[in-house]
Amino acid sequence: MKPSILLTPLVHKNKKAIAIKFAYSYMVKEKVKVIKGVRWSATHGCFYVFEEIMTVNSLFNALRKAELYVDYSAFMKTTQKNLPDGINLKKNTTPIQVTVKQSRDISEKKKQVIRDFVLYLRGLRLSESTVKTYFTFVADFVAFHPTVPCDKLDNTHVRFFVEHQVKRRKYAISTHRQMVSAIKHFGTFLPGSLLEVDEIPRPSKSSYLPTILSKEELVDLLRFTKNLKHRSVLALLYSAGLRVGEVISLELRDIDVDRRQLIVKNGKGRKDRVTVLAESFLPLLQNYLTTYQPERFFIENPNGGQYTAGSIRSFLKRSCKEAGITKRVTPHTLRHSYATHLMENGVGLRHIQSLLGHAKPETTMIYTHVARKDILQITSPLDTALHALREQDKSNQKPWLSQNIGG
């Protein structure tokens, strides 16, 4: 997920300006401060740019060029004709981009079809993250064939588009599968569609084993995370096996200290579940709540509201570097490690499935491939061979493999 920027009106030094607000991230800060005309205001505690120097439209385009998502909803009163193409500010809608970027060559008629497709996806109760992903793929697909009406697109058009995107953007298998799923949904939605959705091939799912941190690495990770808020977030991610979106959405009222439980509401698949609150986490939690005093969410943006996943990934990366951990670690790595360590501690598969909120036991079973409990009991044939040789030649007490071998 790309970092999110909030643009709001601002009056600074008696001039109209645009405030640029975001959850602290070194990467975002470096991208924002190099935009021409952008300055820092100690008074308001945010970056800004005077409207006489840069219009909202120009600022929006500059931020999107820097690969940052922009929340433009504070400018609701601005007329639609003055808005950059690629943004929709209708009331009572989530700030998702349901129109088309200027770089896409799409007619107004096709844009309306895509807008209706977004409404269709929301009607299916898909998450906003999924809606945004599917919208992007379909908008790219329609733009790839600018002269072909939407209801004339067929499986051959899909093949050309998919081959081009996979080669040009070097999509991973998971992204390739998402792209095909988006087009399949589009074919199901489109009236009179020529797309035969059942005939559109989708690559098989990858079966990579997840990256797992050892228990020693996890302790080091927390020890080297000096910031109290950051350490609390990482400790909760691991100790409760939460997804990054779940820890961001976690509200204080859903933390039951007395029963040592967390109520995870509206998790993946719109399911609630209960997970365990680690006893060793309670003193850290109390220290964090007393110091930061969040009002609604467990972790909050310094400017109010929810924290961002990008910020968590950013400080997790810094903590790994400080702890000397060279593995590729994401917030989900902590969840993988939680499940694997539970299995190694003898917790049953069904209990782990319930704690993780998996719909199918097959999803949880991947951890049986990485848990060390049974594997460590297997003796390597090298050890067996060396042990047999030592038994035969008990007079030779020298190390068999570490010694230098003469010619």
Q: Which CATH number among 3.40.5, 3.30.1380, 3.30.780, 2.115.10 corresponds to the domain 1-84?
A: 3.30.780
Is residue 76 over pLDDT 80? no
> pLDDT > 90: what percent of the chain?
35
Nearest CA-CA partner of 37 in 22, 52, 15: 52
Domain borders along the chain are: 1-84, 89-206, 215-369
Distance of CA 351 to the CA centre of its chain: 25
Beta bridge partners of 297: 251
* The pLDDT of residue 84: 38
Q: How do residues 207-262 score in pLDDT, each as one tens digit?
A: 667 788 998 999 999 999 999 999 999 999 998 889 898 999 899 999 999 988 88
> pLDDT > 70: what percent of the chain?
80
**What's the rounded mean pLDDT across residues 181-192?**
92
* Residues whose CB is less than 8 angstroms from the CB of residue 256 and which lie 6 or more positions away in sequence, other chains included: 262, 263, 277
Confidence of residue 87 (pLDDT cuts 50, 70, 90): very low
Is residue 57 over pLDDT 80? no
Helix (H) or strand (E) holding 275: strand 273-276
Kindly list the strands in the beta sheet with 15-21, ordered across the sheet, starting from the edge strand earlier in the chain: 39-41, 46-50, 15-21, 4-12, 69-71
* Residues whose CB is less than 8 angstroms from the CB of residue 227 and which lie 6 or more positions away in sequence, other chains included: 315
* The pLDDT of residue 56: 81
Confidence of residue 128 (pLDDT cuts 50, 70, 90): confident
Q: What is the CATH class of 215-369?
A: mainly alpha
Active-site residues, by number, are: 243, 268, 332, 335, 358, 367
User: Contact, 57 vs 83, CB < 8 A?
Assistant: yes
* The pLDDT of residue 401: 62
More reliable by pLDDT, 107 or 19 = 19
Q: How do residues 270-317 score in pLDDT, each as one tens digit?
A: 678 888 888 899 999 999 999 999 989 999 988 777 888 889 999 999
How far apart (Å, rounded) are the C-alpha atoms in residues 165 and 139?
A: 13
Positive or negative: CA dihedral 146, 148, 151, 153: negative
* The pLDDT of residue 227: 94
Does the domain spanning 89-206 belong to CATH 1.10.10?
no
Q: How do residues 393-406 score in pLDDT, each as one tens digit?
A: 766 655 556 555 55
How far apart (Å, rounded) are the C-alpha atoms in residues 119 and 113?
A: 10
Nearest CA-CA partner of 240 in 120, 375, 154, 356: 356
Confidence of residue 97 (pLDDT cuts 50, 70, 90): very low
Q: How do residues 356-387 score in pLDDT, each as one tens digit?
A: 877 676 666 666 665 655 555 666 777 777 67
Q: In terms of residues, how long is the chain?
A: 407
- The tokens for 267 are 């998790």
User: Contact, 18 vs 7, CB < 8 A?
Assistant: yes
* The pLDDT of residue 287: 94
How far apart (Å, rounded) are the C-alpha atoms in residues 262 and 298?
A: 11
How far apart (Å, rounded) are the C-alpha atoms in residues 50 and 59?
A: 10
* The pLDDT of residue 225: 94
Least confident of 91-105, 130-144, 302-316: 91-105
CA distances from 277 to 206, 239, 259 (A): 32, 7, 8
* The pLDDT of residue 156: 92
Continuous H helices in 199-307: 215-223, 228-240, 244-249, 282-292
**What's the rounded mean pLDDT across residues 314-338?**
93
Average pLDDT, the chain: 81
**What's the rounded mean pLDDT across residues 114-134?**
89
